[in-house]
Structure 1
């Protein structure tokens, strides 16, 4: 299976690529910076640039149909309401949501022709109401809405669309806004019934399940991999 992963150079995306390769699949990475030891094909593009993204996608689909897609790339700017920068809103929605739409539309013809496909959108616990996440949470909530919309449109064509919503996970993106030992980290840990942060490998495991052949009867769902944090949010 050829699986395209956006934001594949580090964090959850890179961990997922390593796992897929170990299972005999062919990961295709798409991100701004190429790691030196990526276990598959890697295409360099600034996903904030629509034209650069389109050019990279043309190369990817020209090489063959994409069987699975993981819309993983994301950016976050934290600010309480009253201090939200409108330019940050636009940039966050563009990278977190527009990119997913653009990439999905590029690989969709191949999936339709094959009569099969797997699409997994990586969203977030913060869609349930984490403070200071107006832009990030809003963009990920849009992606969760798209998950249901696309699932309904594509179910009869053999293509499933689901989302994985991680809780606080030990990644570079999380640490940008939540330094180790900070009050913010303590706040997050207090919301986690399991008492610890998630590991990228645990998120990758859930994504791999939804990409698998055995997950063909699951579509339009948001799988919350969050150490029970969504229980506390509810």
Structure 2
């Protein structure tokens, strides 16, 4: 390839599809909606949702069956591994059952979806993979299983970026900070001392929104982002500025 030749971009023709795991609620739903706005067709894998391929993403067999149905209409060259659960507990109290459940849902399902979509991406010479990590990957109390699996997603992202770059496939991670989803706000009511303390710790002095994260995903899914791969983009209002390494 010459210095002045750009690598192949996305396939042309029919509207491109984007597979979004856990896309029925919260950040996943915001990403699916942003995909619609960007002209893609979101394909959602979730336990709920009227238009989702219903499956249990913590179960390999259920996930494989849903992926087979999703791919029946042809390859999907964009993927957002968004599904996840927290399983809050201290290291001393985290049960092996909770840890295994976190690995299955937060990490194993991501690998399974990547493996299912990669053949189509390689054939097309184009792919975009976005893995939803978390600021908790840098360390957070009572998040032993969650932080471990979200850090694992960052490692997986880097390996995919290194291995698949020659096929036109990029892989990046997003690390959200405190995002005001319904689930988060139920645990942290607006105006509570705990919520005020969280906001005061954020340099931009507000909570993030699901749309903030969806905007970051939109950039990384774009065909024009082909020179960005193996990176983690923290959508955290600046909270990682004094924590994460340069």
TM-score normalised to the size of structure 2?
Answer: 0.88
SS at match of 2:200: helix
For the pair 1:122 / 2:132, whether they are aligned, the reply is: yes
Which residue number in structure 2 is paired with residue 196 of structure 1?
Answer: 206
Which residue number in structure 2 is paired with residue 29 of structure 1?
Answer: 44
Which residue number in structure 2 is paired with residue 49 of structure 1?
Answer: 59
Which residue number in structure 1 is paired with residue 31 of structure 2?
Answer: 16
- Determine if contact 1:31/1:45 at 8 Å carries over to the other structure: yes
**CA 1:145–1:171 in 2, change beyond 3 Å: closer, same or farther?**
same
- Determine if contact 1:75/1:173 at 8 Å carries over to the other structure: no
Residue number among 167, 170, 173 corresponding to 2:180 in the alignment: 170
Which residue number in structure 1 is paired with residue 219 of structure 2?
Answer: 209
**CA 1:187–1:85 in 2, change beyond 3 Å: closer, same or farther?**
farther
C-alpha separation between the residues in 1 aligned to 2:99 and 2:201? 26
SS at match of 1:168: coil
For the pair 1:218 / 2:228, whether they are aligned, the reply is: yes
- Determine if contact 1:164/1:206 at 8 Å carries over to the other structure: yes
Q: C-alpha offsets along residues 129-179 of structure 1, whole Å, 9 cap, x if unaligned?
A: 111111101000000000000100000110000011111101134346444
CA RMSD in angstroms comes to 1.5
Residue number among 129, 144, 151 corresponding to 1:134 in the alignment: 144
TM-superposed CA distance for 1:188, in Å, is 2.4
**CA 1:220–1:172 in 2, change beyond 3 Å: closer, same or farther?**
same
- Determine if contact 2:85/2:146 at 8 Å carries over to the other structure: yes
Moved more, 169-178 or 6-15: 169-178
For the pair 1:107 / 2:135, whether they are aligned, the reply is: no
What aligned pairs does 1:91-106 form with structure 2 within 5 A after superposition?
91-106=101-116
TM-score normalised to the size of structure 1?
Answer: 0.93
**CA 1:183–1:130 in 2, change beyond 3 Å: closer, same or farther?**
farther
Q: Which blocks of at least 5 consecutive residues in structure 1 are unaligned?
A: none
| Larger gyration radius, structure 1 or structure 2 | 2
C-alpha separation between the residues in 1 aligned to 2:187 and 2:156? 26
